[in-house]
Amino acid sequence: MGFFLDGIWHDTWHDTGKSKGRFEREATRFHNWITADGAPGPTGEGGFPAEPGRYHLYVSLACPWAHRTLIFRKLKKLEDLISVSVVSPMMFERGWTFNRAEGSTGDHLYDASTLGEIYLKTNPKYSGRVTVPVLWDKKRGTIVNNESSEIIRMFNTGFNALTGDTTDYYPDALRDEIDTINKRIYETVNNGVYRCGFATTQEAYEEAFAQLFETLDVLEGRLSTQRYLCGKTVTEADWRLFPTLIRFDAVYVGHFKCNLRRIDDYPNLSNYTRDLYQWPGIAETVDIDQYKRHYYGSHKTINPTGIVPVGPALEFMRPHDRGRFG
């Protein structure tokens, strides 16, 4: 959980001393965009055209932010165009590593031992946290982007001419609604579970806890009248929520003390989670074992013994009722 300061690694847990015990996520640092013709995207610089085999994705199977990018790589048929390396689920004093003995694929590009080495290849004086996902440009030898919300939008449209897949998970007609839903879900659910788990005061924890379950209740109600968050069509908003829901009962209920209710206790949210899990190819992006190993085994500040629970029993292939909405 450390960070670089001017290229020097510091093994330091999150500092909540200045925020009254509240966990505040550090902003990502790399915001270039891959576009069809290499023109600049909404942020960053240009020069990153969509090309087969040019880009590489560094992910953790345990990380919900990285999970989003694997989902869109699958949905948009990018697996033959964008290669992937998976870090170990265990994260200790050196941060994310490529320890094959712990479940990593190894670094397919440079045989690096840590993900931090990849960041330093971009900037030897880099300052900031080392996070996944990382989208890497093999040709220029640099990080394109390490912000998951931006990477999935690149994947959504940037490679359409190469794949022939024009499915749009961020359609113009729904963008305002998607953005509004995304904002609340990010603040109170996606990041909200971390705000519960990484809080260091009772007040900060209870504040995040209340907001988390208030939003889950709202989503439960929303899904009582429609199949997906924005109606009949699955969108980016659903795939941004799904990685948190699929981890919730296995990890966040116990490890992050998000224990008012399980997702399995919500009729609509639980059926909705199974609906998305059973979407073609999505189950292949899910690894409950790595989720539990990472959170329970790596967060020694929260779980000093490192003991990983055996349960719970989860059956995401159970039938769901979402087809009733058409």
The pLDDT, as a whole number, for residue 13 is 76
d(CA 164, CA 28) in angstroms, rounded, equals 31
The per-residue pLDDT for range 21-37, each reduced to its tens digit, is 999 999 999 999 999 99
Amino acid at 201: T
pLDDT of residue 12: 85
**pLDDT at 326 exceeding the cut of 80:** no
By percentage, how much of the chain surpasses pLDDT 70?
A: 100
Report the pLDDT averaged over residues 175-203.
98
What is the per-residue pLDDT across 237-247, written as a single tens digit (0 to 9) for each?
Answer: 999 999 999 99
- What pLDDT score was predicted for residue 14? 78
Domain ranges in the chain are 3-163, 172-325
* Residues forming the active site: 63, 194
Each residue's pLDDT tens digit, 289-324: 999 999 999 999 999 999 999 999 999 999 999 999
Residue 239 burial by CB count (10 A; 0-12/13-18/19+): exposed, middle or buried?
A: buried
Which CATH architecture describes the domain 172-325? Up-down Bundle (1.20)
Cα–Cα distance for residue pair 228/153, rounded to 1 Å: 19
Whether the predicted pLDDT of 276 surpasses 90:
yes
Residue 134's DSSP bridge partners are: 58
Q: In b/e form, how buried is each residue of 125-140, taking b as 16+ CB within 10 angstroms?
A: ebebbbbbbbbbbeee
- Indicate the DSSP class of residue 21: T
pLDDT of residue 17: 81
Provide the pLDDT confidence category of residue 87 given band limits of 50, 70 and 90.
Answer: very high
Terminal-to-terminal C-alpha distance of the chain: 44
Name all contacts of 174-180 with Cβ < 8 Å and 24+ positions apart.
174/230, 174/231, 174/233, 174/235, 177/230, 177/237, 178/230, 178/235, 178/236, 178/237
pLDDT (mean) for 9-14: 86
322: its two tokens: 């979402």
Residue of higher predicted confidence among 83 and 16: 83
Answer yes or no: are the C-beta atoms of 138 and 55 closer than 8 Å: yes
**pTM of the predicted model, to two decimals?**
0.97
- According to DSSP, the residues that pair with 85 across neighbouring strands are 58
How confident is the model over 52-71, as a mean pLDDT? 98
Q: Was domain 3-163 assigned CATH 3.40.30.10?
A: yes
